C-alpha cells in the first residue's frame, strides 16, 4: 500500500461517512430546498459565530466568492505573497473579481499591522482603492503555520481604522484550533467573512463553506450561481461534510503528532535540512541538499511514498486521515534507505 503524503486533500470517505451520505435527505439546493445543506450551513455558521453560510464545491470558490462579494472590479486586496488566494487559485482574483493583489512580505505567511500600514495609500484617483485584507490560517506555503491571535487582532485594528474589510481563508482553520486550543469562533470573530474546508484534514470528499452576515451571504449566493457553483441535490455531499465536522475534527491532533514524528525523523537524515520546531500542524516542509527534489520524489514514489516537490530543492509532506503512525515509521525507513544509497 502506498503511503500518500502529497496532501490532506487525498483523504477518502470512511465507511461511516459513506453511510451518512447514502442516508442523506436531499432537495434542490439552488431553490433552497435541500434540508441537509441547510443543516450544514446553519451548523457551520453558528460554530464560527456568523449569521449565515453558503455551501460551495471547493475552497477556491469560497475564497473567490468572498473577494467578489466584498469588492468591485478595479479594487485592490492585500494578501501575503505566498497566500493560497494569490498563489494557487489560477489567477482568479483578476479573472473573476477583477481585483489587484498587493502582496505583503509575510514570514511563513504571517504579516504584521506595520506591513499593512506601509502599503496603504491616500485616497487618490491614481490609485486602486484598497478594500480587503486577506489572512490564511493555517498557512499552506508557510508550512501549516498558525497565525497568533494577537497578531490577527493587531492587523484587524489597523484595517478597521482604515475602513478595510477582512477575509479569513480558513481552509485549515480546524488545524489551527486543535493545535492551539483556541476555538475557531475566536479566530473568526475578527473577520467579516470566513471560508472553511471540509475536504482536507476533516476528510469529506467535497466541499467548503463561506460564512458572514446574511446580507453578505445573499450577495455571495448570486455569484456562486454565476460561477457555476449552484448545486442541486447537494445534501449527499453536505452529509459527508457534517459527518466530518462532527466526528473528525478532534482527531486532527493525530495528524499533528504524526507530522512532528515525521519531521523529527527526517531532521536526523543526511541530505535533509529541516527544523522540527517549525512544524506546528500537519504540514512538513523540507529542503534537500544532496540531489534535486524531483529526483528524490521520483525515487520515493517508486518505493511507495508519495510527496510533492514544491521547488528545485524543496519537498512538502502532509499527514492526513489516510496515514497511520505505523506508516510514518515505514516512510522514514524508506527515506533513510534511499538517501543512504546516494553517493
Query: Would the pLDDT of 292 be above 80?
Result: yes
Tell which CATH classification among 1.10.10.60, 3.40.50.300, 3.40.640.10, 3.90.79.10 matches the domain 11-247: 3.40.640.10
Q: What is the pLDDT of residues 134-184, one digit of tens each?
A: 999 999 999 999 999 999 999 999 999 999 999 999 999 999 999 999 999
φ and ψ of 147, to 5 deg: -70, 125
Q: What is the pLDDT of residue 341?
A: 83
For residue 247, CA distances in Å to 56, 203, 240 come to 21, 10, 10
pLDDT band at 218 (very low <50, low <70, confident <90, very high): very high
Is 80 exceeded by the pLDDT of residue 281? yes
CA 304 vs CA 7, 269, 301, 327: distances in Å:
15, 19, 5, 11
Average pLDDT, rounded, for the chain: 97
Distance CA 230, CA 187 (A): 28
pLDDT for the residue numbered 342:
75
Mean pLDDT computed over 230-243: 98
pLDDT of 32 over the 90 cut? yes
CATH 3.40.640.10 domain span(s) along the chain: 11-247
What pTM, to 2 d.p., does this model score? Answer: 0.96
**Average pLDDT for 267-271:** 95
Residue 298 neighbours by CB distance under 10 Å:
12
Mean pLDDT, residues 318-323? 98
**Where residue 343 falls among pLDDT bands split at 50, 70, 90?**
low
Q: What is the mean pLDDT of residues 56-85?
A: 98
The C-alpha angle 145, 182, 144, rounded to 5 degrees, equals 15
CA atoms within 13 A on the CB side of 23: 8
What distances in angstroms separate CA 107 from CA 137, 215, 247, 271, one per listed residue? 13, 34, 33, 25
Q: What is the pLDDT of residue 18?
A: 98
Closest CA to 239 of 38, 30, 3, 4: 38
Which of 151, 150, 67 is closest to 109 using CA atoms?
151
CA distance 254 to 322: 11
Rounded to whole angstroms, how far apart are CA atoms 157 and 289? Answer: 42
Residue 290's SS3 state is coil
Residues 6+ apart with CB under 8 A from 172: 8, 137, 138, 140, 144, 197, 200, 201, 281, 282
Where along the chain do the CATH 3.90.1150.10 domains lie? 251-340
Under CATH, what is the fold of the domain 251-340? 3.90.1150
Amino acid at each position: 500500500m502506498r503511503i500518500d503524503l502529497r496532501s490532506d486533500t487525498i483523504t477518502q470517505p470512511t465507511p461511516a461517512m459513506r453511510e451518512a451520505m447514502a442516508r442523506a435527505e436531499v432537495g434542490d439546493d439552488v431553490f433552497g430546498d435541500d434540508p441537509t445543506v441547510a443543516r450544514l450551513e446553519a451548523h457551520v455558521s453558528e460554530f464560527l459565530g456568523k449569521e449565515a453560510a453558503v455551501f460551495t464545491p471547493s475552497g477556491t470558490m469560497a475564497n473567490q466568492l468572498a473577494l467578489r462579494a466584498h469588492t468591485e472590479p478595479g479594487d485592490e486586496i492585500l494578501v501575503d505573497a505566498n497566500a493560497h488566494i494569490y498563489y494557487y487559485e489560477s489567477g482568479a482574483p483578476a479573472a473573476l473579481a477583477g481585483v489587484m493583489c498587493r502582496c505583503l512580505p509575510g514570514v511563513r505567511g504571517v504579516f504584521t499591522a506595520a506591513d499593512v500600514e506601509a502599503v496603504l495609500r491616500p485616497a487618490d484617483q491614481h490609485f486602486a482603492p484598497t478594500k480587503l485584507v486577506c489572512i490564511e490560517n493555517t498557512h499552506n506555503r508557510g508550512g501549516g503555520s498558525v497565525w497568533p491571535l494577537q497578531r490577527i487582532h493587531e492587523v484587524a485594528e489597523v484595517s478597521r481604522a482604515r475602513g478595510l474589510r477582512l477575509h479569513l481563508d480558513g481552509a485549515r482553520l480546524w488545524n489551527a484550533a486543535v493545535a492551539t486550543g483556541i476555538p475557531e469562533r475566536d479566530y473568526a470573530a475578527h473577520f467579516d467573512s470566513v471560508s472553511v474546508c471540509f475536504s482536507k484534514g476533516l476528510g469529506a470528499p467535497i466541499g467548503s463553506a463561506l460564512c458572514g452576515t446574511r446580507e453578505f451571504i445573499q450577495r455571495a449566493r448570486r455569484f456562486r450561481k454565476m460561477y457555476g457553483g449552484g448545486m442541486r441535490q447537494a445534501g449527499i455531499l453536505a452529509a459527508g461534510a457534517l459527518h466530518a465536522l462532527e466526528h473528525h475534527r478532534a482527531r486532527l491532533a493525530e495528524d499533528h503528532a504524526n507530522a512532528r514524528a515525521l519531521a523529527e525523523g527526517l531532521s536526523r537524515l543526511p541530505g535533509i535540512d529541516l527544523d522540527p520546531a517549525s512544524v506546528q500542524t500537519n504540514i512538513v516542509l523540507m529542503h534537500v541538499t544532496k540531489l534535486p527534489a524531483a529526483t528524490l520524489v521520483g525515487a520515493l514514489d517508486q518505493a511507495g511514498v508519495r510527496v510533492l516537490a514544491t521547488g528545485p530543492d524543496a519537498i512538502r509532506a502532509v499527514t492526513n486521515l489516510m496515514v497511520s503512525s505505523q506508516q510514518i515509521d515505514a516512510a522514514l525507513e524508506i527515506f533513510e534507505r534511499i538517501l543512504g544509497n546516494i553517493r
